[in-house]
C-alpha cells in the first residue's frame, strides 16, 4: 500500500516518532541503557503509534534498541490494525493466549544482540508493566544475562515535554471543554440535577468533536467536600454553588479544568472566597516559566494562602499535575517534586478551598512556553450566575 494511503491510519507522521526515538536514545545513553522494553498501553502507543486498546490477554511489546531500529511484537488478532498504524518495519506476530510472548521476546533480544545488555522497563514511579509479574519473572529467567532497570524517569520525561503536534491536540481539547462550560452557563436552571447538567456537557463535547467526556461535581451543603465523585441526582438549589471539574480527549490528548456556577445571586462571602482563590491561582500561574521547579510553585502557593489567612482544604495532595495522553500525569505540582519546567510541558494549577458554603477551585491548564506560559483553558473564570 502506498505510504500516503497508509498515512491516513497513523496517529502522527513518521517524523514525530523518529524524533521520540532519537530523544529516547539520547536519554538511554546518558542512563547507560542499551534498550527499552515497553508493554503498557500509553507508553506503547506513545513510542510505536500502535493501538492503545490494551489487552491483558494479548499484550503488545515494543523494543527500542539504542543502536538498531525498533521492533514491535503483537498478537495475530491485532496484526492488520497494527501494521497500518505503526511506522515500525520489524513487526512480529505471536499466537498464544496463555500470557506474554516470552519466546518471541527472547528471540528478538537474541537477534538484536541484547542478551547481555541493560534494558529499561516500566518498573518505577507511576508506571505499570503490561505483562504479569509471573511472565516478567519468566522472561528474566530466559534472559539471565540481561539486567532490567527502571526506565520511569526516561518514559515520563519523554511524555512530559510535548511536541507541537501534541500541544495542538491539547489546545483543541481545552477549546471543546471551554465551549461546553459556555453552553452550561446558558442551559443550567434551578431544579436541574447534577446528572442532568453533566449530560448537557457530555452531549456538547461530543458534538464539538471531543471524546471520552467526564465530570466530577458537587453542589450544596454536606456535599461541597465531595471533590472526587461523579454527578448524582441532587437538585441545584438557589443560594448554592455548583462546582464541576471536567475534561475530554481530542485525538487521545486530554483537558482537565474546573469552573463554578452560582444558583441565584451568590452571597458576599461566596464572592470573596471565589475571588481570593482565583487570585492565588493566577499568582501561581504567573510563576510558570522554563527553569522553575514545580516545588517552588507549590511553596509560592503556600505563601499566598498564608497571606490570605487560608488553608488549602481541597485535599488532592498537590496543587496541580501534568496532563497529556492521560488526564493526570507527572509532574506533581507539590513541594516534594523538584521537576524543572521546560517549554512544551503542560500542567494544571489548581489550589482550592472547601467550605460549608462552597467548593472554591478554579483549575487551569497551562502550557510552558519559551518565555513563560499560555493558559489553554480559556473558559471564563468568573463566578457565573444562573
The CATH code that applies to domain 164-385 is 3.90.230.10
Buried b (16+ CB within 10 A) or exposed e, 156-184: bbbbbbbeeebbebbbbbbbbbbbbbbbb
Q: Phi and psi dihedrals of 32, rounded to 5?
A: 75, 25
The CATH code that applies to domain 3-160 is 3.40.350.10
Q: Phi and psi dihedrals of 324, rounded to 5?
A: -175, -115
C-alpha span between 152 and 158 (Å, rounded):
10
To which residue does cell 488532592 refer?
A: 316
Classified as helix, coil or strand, 113 is coil
Q: How does strand 329-332 pair with strand 257-262?
A: unpaired
Q: Is-contact 300 287, C-beta < 8 A?
A: yes
Q: Is-contact 119 37, C-beta < 8 A?
A: yes
C-alpha span between 37 and 251 (Å, rounded):
25
At 222 the pLDDT is: 87
C-alpha span between 14 and 321 (Å, rounded):
29
* CB burial of residue 45 (10 Å; 0-12, 13-18, 19+): buried
What is the H or E stretch that residue 247 is in?
strand 241-250
C-alpha span between 154 and 102 (Å, rounded):
24
At 4 the pLDDT is: 43
Tell me the pLDDT of the chain (386 aa) as tens digits: 444 444 557 899 999 999 999 999 999 999 999 999 999 989 999 999 987 666 788 999 999 999 999 999 999 998 888 778 889 999 999 999 999 999 999 999 999 999 999 999 999 999 999 999 999 999 999 999 999 999 999 999 999 999 999 999 999 999 999 999 999 999 999 999 999 999 999 999 999 999 999 999 999 998 999 999 999 999 999 999 999 999 999 999 999 999 999 999 999 999 999 999 999 999 999 999 999 999 999 999 999 999 999 999 998 899 999 999 999 999 999 999 999 999 999 999 999 999 999 999 999 999 999 999 999 999 999 999 99
The structure's pTM equals 0.94
C-alpha span between 337 and 194 (Å, rounded):
35
At 239 the pLDDT is: 96
Cα–Cα distances (Å) from 283 to 41, 126, 191, in that order, read 36, 29, 36
Q: What is the CA radius of gyration of the chain?
A: 23
Q: Where are the domains of the chain?
A: 3-160, 164-385
Q: Is-contact 386 379, C-beta < 8 A?
A: no
C-alpha span between 205 and 196 (Å, rounded):
15
Q: How does strand 118-121 pair with strand 147-150?
A: parallel
Smallest CA-to-CA distance from 19 within 119, 156, 164 is with 164
Smallest CA-to-CA distance from 32 within 141, 114, 118, 97 is with 118
Amino acid at each position: 500500500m502506498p505510504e500516503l494511503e497508509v498515512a491516513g491510519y497513523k496517529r502522527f507522521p513518521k517524523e514525530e516518532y523518529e524524533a521520540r526515538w532519537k530523544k529516547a536514545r539520547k536519554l538511554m545513553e546518558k542512563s547507560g541503557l542499551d534498550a527499552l522494553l515497553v508493554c503498557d498501553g500509553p507508553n506503547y502507543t506513545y513510542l510505536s503509534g500502535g493501538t492503545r486498546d490494551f489487552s491483558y490477554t494479548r499484550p503488545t511489546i515494543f523494543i527500542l534498541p539504542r543502536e538498531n531500529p525498533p521492533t514491535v511484537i503483537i498478537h495475530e488478532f491485532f496484526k492488520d490494525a497494527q501494521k497500518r498504524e505503526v511506522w515500525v518495519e520489524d513487526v512480529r506476530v505471536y499466537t498464544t493466549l496463555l500470557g506474554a510472548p516470552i519466546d518471541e521476546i527472547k528471540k528478538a533480544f537474541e537477534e538484536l544482540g541484547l542478551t547481555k545488555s541493560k534494558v529499561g522497563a516500566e518498573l518505577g514511579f507511576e508506571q505499570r508493566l503490561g505483562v504479569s509479574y509471573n511472565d516478567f519473572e519468566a522472561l528474566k529467567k530466559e534472559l539471565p544475562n540481561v539486567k532490567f532497570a527502571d526506565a520511569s524517569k526516561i518514559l515520563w520525561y519523554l511524555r512530559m515535554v510535548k511536541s507541537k503536534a501534541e500541544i495542538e491536540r491539547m489546545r483543541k481539547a481545552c477549546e471543546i471543554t471551554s465551549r461546553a462550560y459556555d453552553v452550561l452557563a446558558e442551559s443550567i436552571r434551578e431544579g436541574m440535577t447534577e446528572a442532568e447538567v453533566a449530560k448537557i456537557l457530555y452531549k456538547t463535547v461530543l458534538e464539538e468533536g471531543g471524546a471520552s467526556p467526564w465530570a466530577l461535581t458537587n453542589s450544596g451543603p454536606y456535599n461541597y467536600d465531595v471533590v472526587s465523585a461523579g454527578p448524582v441526582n441532587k437538585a441545584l438549589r438557589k443560594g448554592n454553588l455548583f462546582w464541576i471539574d471536567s475534561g475530554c480527549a481530542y485525538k487521545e490528548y486530554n483537558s482537565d479544568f474546573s469552573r463554578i456556577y452560582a444558583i441565584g445571586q451568590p452571597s458576599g462571602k461566596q464572592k470573596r472566597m471565589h475571588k481570593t482563590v482565583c487570585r492565588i491561582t493566577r499568582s501561581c500561574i504567573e510563576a510558570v516559566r522554563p527553569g522553575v521547579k514545580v516545588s517552588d510553585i507549590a511553596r509560592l502557593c503556600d505563601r499566598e494562602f498564608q497571606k490570605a489567612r487560608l488553608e488549602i482544604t481541597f485535599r488532592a495532595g498537590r496543587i496541580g499535575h501534568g496532563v497529556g495522553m492521560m488526564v493526570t500525569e507527572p509532574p506533581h505540582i507539590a513541594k516534594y517534586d523538584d521537576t524543572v519546567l521546560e517549554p512544551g510541558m503542560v500542567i494544571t494549577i489548581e489550589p482550592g478551598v472547601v467550605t460549608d458554603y462552597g467548593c472554591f477551585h478554579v483549575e487551569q491548564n497551562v502550557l510552558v512556553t519559551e518565555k513563560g506560559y499560555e493558559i489553554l483553558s480559556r473558559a471564563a473564570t468568573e463566578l457565573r450566575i444562573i
